[in-house]
Amino acid sequence: MHKQGMLRENALKDQTIIVTGGGTGLGRAMGKYFLELGANLVITSRKLPVLEKTKLELEAETGGSVLPVACDVRHYEEVEEVIKTAIDSYGQVNGLVNNAAGNFISPTERLSHRAVSAVIDIVLKGTTNFTLALGKQWIDQQQKGTVLNIVTTYAWTGSGYVVPSACAKAGVLALTRSLAVEWAKYGIRTNAIAPGPFPTEGAWSRLLPGDLQKKFDPAQHVPLGRVGEHQELANIAAYLMSEYSAYVNGEVITIDGGEWLKGAGEFNHLEMVTPQMWDMLESMRKG
């Protein structure tokens, strides 16, 4: 069931949605489901050949319309150009998914200031660039819009070894909650999704390089005992981009099988206690 689309047919009909980082991974999966639900899709990232390949695949798989436009989200003029090209092609843009990200693991003291900036600029500046450029357009045109930001669960806990990403995602979460209030009067809703581990080439190759994947199987940290399916995330994304969620604003939906709470709960490690040990503890207590 969780591998199936959950929204009604045509739930996004006549909507045009920009997905940053839409050529690969979770951006591609969300975009594919938006197309299946009747949306037009604009995908953007730095690598045009990747975007063009994804366009051909997604159009063949869904029968929808995909516009690939190359852009580095760190550069505001390029972002403005994507929005202009999208409007020229489809007349208007109704939704934005800020999904593009950069990340890698490293002890923080080993990072150059350029490495820190690379990640913060892609994640935080990229998100503010697209949100500002499109928000201004919507407000000028008195048009409603929906923004969805892809964060992570360590946006609120923080995390060692991915510090630039944690700082940037925390900023994106603050942006989500701030604009949800400030821009609601313009009919602009702003929400976020915080995924736990979902296998993608981009994330896995950078966060679990070499044999780290074998040593630190991400599924083992998840109470539900598995990693996420792309369709599960796409279902929430489509819901948040659709009018079915018209009263949801400023929310962050976590989809991680309970992973971050497992790390947070003081006594959660007691799952290592066997039934025999519990029996022993009980008899000691009764004694």
> Does the footprint of ligand NAP cover residue 47 (CB under 6 A)?
yes
The pair phi, psi for residue 65, each rounded to 5°, is -115, 125
Find which of ligand HXC, ligand NAP, none residue 252 binds, CB within 5 to 8 Å per kind: none
Contacts 24+ apart (CB under 8 A), 79-83: 79/129, 79/130, 79/133, 80/133, 82/18, 82/42, 82/44, 83/18, 83/133, 83/134, 83/137
- Give the residue, chosen from 52, 59, 75, 104, that forms a contact with ligand HXC under the rule CB under 6 A: 104
Are 18 and 83 within 8 A, CB to CB?
A: yes
Minimal distance in Å, beta carbon 176 to ligand HXC?
16
Q: Which CB atom, from 31 or from 145, has the smaller least distance to ligand HXC?
A: 31
Among residues 67, 111, 124, 69, which one has the least CA distance to residue 90? Answer: 67
Of residues 217 through 276, those in contact with ligand NAP by CB under 6 A are none
> Does the footprint of ligand NAP cover residue 163 (CB under 6 A)?
no
> Does the footprint of ligand HXC cover residue 152 (CB under 6 A)?
yes
Catalytic residue among 154, 161, 244, 247: 154
- Give the residue, chosen from 101, 147, 194, 208, that forms a contact with ligand HXC under the rule CB under 6 A: 101
What single DSSP character describes residue 125? Answer: I
Q: Which CB atom, from 126 or from 145, has the smaller least distance to ligand NAP?
A: 126
Q: Which residue has the tokens 């896995």?
A: 204
> Does the footprint of ligand HXC cover residue 50 (CB under 6 A)?
no
Q: How far is CA 79 from CA 88, 125, 132, 177, 259, in A?
A: 14, 11, 10, 22, 34
Helix (H, G, I), strand (E, B) or coil at 255: strand
- Give the residue, chosen from 12, 17, 18, 27, that forms a contact with ligand NAP under the rule CB under 6 A: 27
Active site residue 154: yes
Are 127 and 149 within 8 A, CB to CB?
A: yes
> Does the footprint of ligand NAP cover residue 58 (CB under 6 A)?
no
> Does the footprint of ligand NAP cover residue 31 (CB under 6 A)?
no
Rounded to 5°, the CA angle 40-31-225 comes to: 160
Q: How far is 280 from 284, CA to CA, in rounded Å? A: 6
Q: Which two tokens stand for residue 44?
A: 């953007």
Q: How far is 135 from 153, CA to CA, in rounded Å? A: 26
> Does the footprint of ligand HXC cover residue 118 (CB under 6 A)?
yes
* Choices 101-109, 133-141, 186-194, 227-235 (CB under 6 A): range interacting with ligand HXC: 101-109
> Does the footprint of ligand HXC cover residue 145 (CB under 6 A)?
no
Q: How far is 223 from 158, CA to CA, in rounded Å? A: 20
Q: Which residues contact 59 (CB under 8 A, 6 or more apart)?
A: 65, 66
Of residues 169 through 208, those in contact with ligand HXC by CB under 6 A are 197, 202-203, 206-207
> Does the footprint of ligand NAP cover residue 24 (CB under 6 A)?
yes
> Does the footprint of ligand HXC cover residue 64 (CB under 6 A)?
no
Give the residue numbers marked as catalytic: 154
Give the footprint of ligand HXC on this chain (CB under 6 A): 101-104, 106, 111-112, 114-115, 118-119, 152, 165, 197, 202-203, 206-207
Give the footprint of ligand NAP on this chain (CB under 6 A): 20-21, 23-27, 45-47, 50, 72-74, 99-102, 122, 126, 150, 152, 195, 197-198, 200, 202-203
